[in-house]
Structure 1
Amino acid sequence: MGRRRLGLALLTVVAIAGGGVAVTALTGPRTPAPDRADGKGLPPATAPVTRGDLADSTQQDGTLGHLGERKINAGGPGGTLTWLAPPGSVVRRDERLYEVDGEAVRLMYGDEPMYRTLRTGDKGKDVRQLEENLAALGYTGFDVDEEYTAKTAAAVKRWQKSHDLKQTGTLGPDRIAFAGSAVRVKETGSGSGSGGGDRVAVGDRATPGSPVLTVTGSEKVVSFKVPAAQAGSAKTGTRVQVTLPDGTRLPGRVSAVGRAATAGEDPQDRTPKIDITVSFDEPAKAEGVDQAPVTVDLTGTTRRDVLSVPVNALLALPDGGFGVQVVEDGAARDVRVELGMFAQGRVEVSGGGLRAGMKVGVPS
């Protein structure tokens, strides 16, 4: 029977549909192969039909680090810096960020900046943020809303008493600073990035609005880029395995996907790419220095409990469709098959009475 063997160089165009991947077109040279590789009609080599899970995965190079770099600026009237949270430390709600003239400025969680001194009668989102933090710390007795009431002021006084402060019932940027969550101190001052940056130290003068600390998010994440055409392989929620520099493999998921494609910095590769962020299931296990290289395995579609054969076992049949050469009892026969997912150098096959353990012909 005339047929054409599909070599590894053959290109397959696949379309994802119904949770699987099916061949929709085949291109490239199709040189006829001999019907039989030896006098007995047997192929030069065989491989087993296997049953198991087949996962469509890709591998990307990523970088271990922290996201959300921002500045913590000095509030209040200014003064001398008498203490700074050290680089590498993590500051959580109600913990000290820095001290001016011996007075601590503490972290509270929220996206609105602390731009004014809050007092009874004030209204706004910053009021709600403050009340949410007070409630989270156990200073309750008020409604969490956008109005600073006498009950809010009473809770503030209790907070002030717990920190040995004058109990005024008012609270301003000389006492607290807002950030979205716990922060990790990257460096002091405005850092040393592309803008030059200025470091500060204990004993320096802090003026209102001047950078005191550069901070990031507290949890380790992985960042990498994928070509815009492959963005579908890294949708939010996609499961991944991250291999750290020491070989440790940790599970995680895609937590953020960039909205705009940008050209890379490599002049040899200006392909538009999308920024991808991966969060770990157990961030505490993601040890290692910042900016360390890691490998990310993206798990795409998984086909459970299917039969598969090596891709190079496929035959293009003369009358259309595809088949494999089954070898049994010292003889070979061609069997038509239906194709499913292509992954890991294998292809899902069904039909023709195939079962796990059968041998199919492959090139030597």
Structure 2
Amino acid sequence: MSGGTPDPRADGARPLGRRRLGLALVTLLALTGGGVAVTALVTPSSAPAGDADAEGLPPATAPVTRGDLTDSSQRDGTLGHLGERKINAGGPGGTLTWLAPTGSVVERDERLYEVDGEAVRLMYGEEPMYRTLKTGDEGKDVRQWEENLAALGYTGFDVDDTYTARTAAAVKRWQKSHDLKQTGTVGPDRIAFAGSAVRVKAAGAETGGGGSGGSGAGRIAPGDRLSTGTPVLTVTGSERVVTFEVPASEATSAKTGTKVAVTLPDGTRLPGRVSAVGRTATAGDDPQDKTPKIDVTVSFDDPGKVRGVDQSPVTVELTGETRRDVLSVPVNALLALPDGGFGVQVVENGTARDVRVELGMFAQGRVEISGDGLRAGMKVGVPS
């Protein structure tokens, strides 16, 4: 000051102006690793002449509030179906005479396709149907086939790893129900296994160029000749799911079981939870963003309510930790104190004072604070 008169506020006691917020931003980013949305802190480095800050008061205030604070984040996702696999012809070959329609859901014992007018039906199980099962055979595939017979209501045999005469008798009853020759044996020309009900995505194998509903190089149609191993259908699980990506550094925000809310293209908001998290990080397809990311799958709490075209864009809101009954202020109310740490500028009775605070959770554009003398309803300085 002119004349050498010392400024009575030069010892740091005066309220900190909004010009200190640039420093607060840098410090906050260092503390949080850049993971907090604090863009509201970016303000001019000095107040213009005549601004309220020149008189020691901030240009605007916001209240300190008490309530619950939830750490949530949003991700862009894609609506789809669980898993994808091919169903290959397993019999000796013949002419394809019928295919389950694209988009249809095929359940246990229903037709997948027909060769020479004879149906190949879906059964549930992880083991492939690689041989003709007959009396005396043993193995996991035997148990899997018997589990399906039992699920369809056939009785009189033990569900185990051995194909007995009683198993053959149940198979004959199953064959009679479908007007088949009653041999008591069954092979890949009659059944194909998948883990559950399947949704038909496309005919043949999607080998590029066609996409769902297009004319990819691997497509087949009734009238085509099949041989053993020919891809007949590309299928997915029947369950509707959402997939999205998170940076590998933020993988803990999407642990298995994490609750989410999914906003569908029509605006419907449905609850769900993370059902699977990838174990391998990849750079992804975006040439502008090579950040390693992890795939995340979300299952809906009520799949029957899901509506929307396959591959539609959706928004996923991840619900993280909730802090109950805490004080919070807008993030841009924070000030960097000269001796380190953070504070807020409390405005009362026309005066302002700096109050040191301890920081807690950052969420929804706010930050949890605690400190001496703080209470709900207090006004704190914020940029205009």
Asked if Structure 1 and Structure 2 have the same fold, meaning a TM-score greater than 0.5 normalized by the shorter chain, the answer is: yes
- Is the 2:53–2:59 Cα contact (8 Å) retained in structure 1? yes
Name the residue aligned to 2:361.
341
Give the AA of the match of 2:122: L
Give the AA of the match of 2:136: G
The structure whose residues are more often strand, as a share, is 1
Please report the TM-score for the alignment, with normalisation by the length of structure 1. 0.88
The 5 A counterparts of 1:1-364 are 1-2=13-14, 4=16, 5-7=20-22, 9-10=25-26, 11-14=28-31, 37=53, 39=55, 41-193=56-208, 197-364=217-384
Q: Distance in 1 between matches of 2:333 and 2:91?
A: 74
Following superposition, the deviation at residue 14 of structure 1 comes to 4.4
Q: Distance in 1 between matches of 2:217 and 2:68?
A: 52
Following superposition, the deviation at residue 221 of structure 1 comes to 1.6
- Is the 2:261–2:271 Cα contact (8 Å) retained in structure 1? yes
Following superposition, the deviation at residue 122 of structure 1 comes to 0.9
Following superposition, the deviation at residue 77 of structure 1 comes to 2.2
Q: Closer, same or farther in 2 for the Cα pair 1:63/1:118, shift >3 Å? A: same
Following superposition, the deviation at residue 295 of structure 1 comes to 1.8
Which consecutive residues of structure 2, in runs of 5 or more, have no partner in the other structure?
1-12, 37-41, 211-215
Following superposition, the deviation at residue 56 of structure 1 comes to 1.7
- Is the 1:116–1:172 Cα contact (8 Å) retained in structure 2? yes
Q: Distance in 2 between matches of 1:194 and 1:144?
A: 45
Q: Distance in 1 between matches of 2:346 and 2:107?
A: 64
Following superposition, the deviation at residue 97 of structure 1 comes to 0.5
Following superposition, the deviation at residue 254 of structure 1 comes to 1.6
Name the residue aligned to 2:10.
none
Q: Distance in 2 between matches of 1:167 and 1:300?
A: 58
Give the AA of the match of 1:301: E
Give the AA of the match of 2:276: A
- Is the 1:252–1:280 Cα contact (8 Å) retained in structure 2? yes
Q: Which SS does the other structure have where 1:146 is aligned?
A: coil
Q: Which SS does the other structure have where 1:12 is aligned?
A: helix
Q: Which SS does the other structure have where 2:29 is aligned?
A: strand
Q: Which SS does the other structure have where 1:128 is aligned?
A: helix
Q: Which digits, 9 at most, give the CA deviation of each residue in 1:282-326, with x for residues without a partner?
A: 223222222222222222222122211011212333444332222
Q: Distance in 2 between matches of 1:352 and 1:338?
A: 10
Give aligned pairs, total: 353
Q: Which deviates further from its counterpart, 88-97 or 267-276?
A: 267-276
Following superposition, the deviation at residue 86 of structure 1 comes to 0.4
Following superposition, the deviation at residue 112 of structure 1 comes to 0.8
Q: Distance in 2 between matches of 1:170 and 1:265?
A: 48
Q: Distance in 1 between matches of 2:338 and 2:287?
A: 46
Q: Distance in 2 between matches of 1:203 and 1:76?
A: 16
Q: Which deviates further from its counterpart, 110-119 or 184-193?
A: 184-193
Give the AA of the match of 1:343: A
Give the aligned CA root-mean-square deviation in angstroms: 2.8
Q: Which deviates further from its counterpart, 141-150 or 7-16?
A: 7-16
Q: Which digits, 9 at most, give the CA deviation of each residue in 1:45-71, with x for residues without a partner?
A: 110111222122222222222232211
Larger Rg: 2
Which consecutive residues of structure 1, in runs of 5 or more, have no partner in the other structure?
23-27
- Is the 2:101–2:200 Cα contact (8 Å) retained in structure 1? yes
Q: Closer, same or farther in 2 for the Cα pair 1:136/1:13, shift >3 Å? A: farther
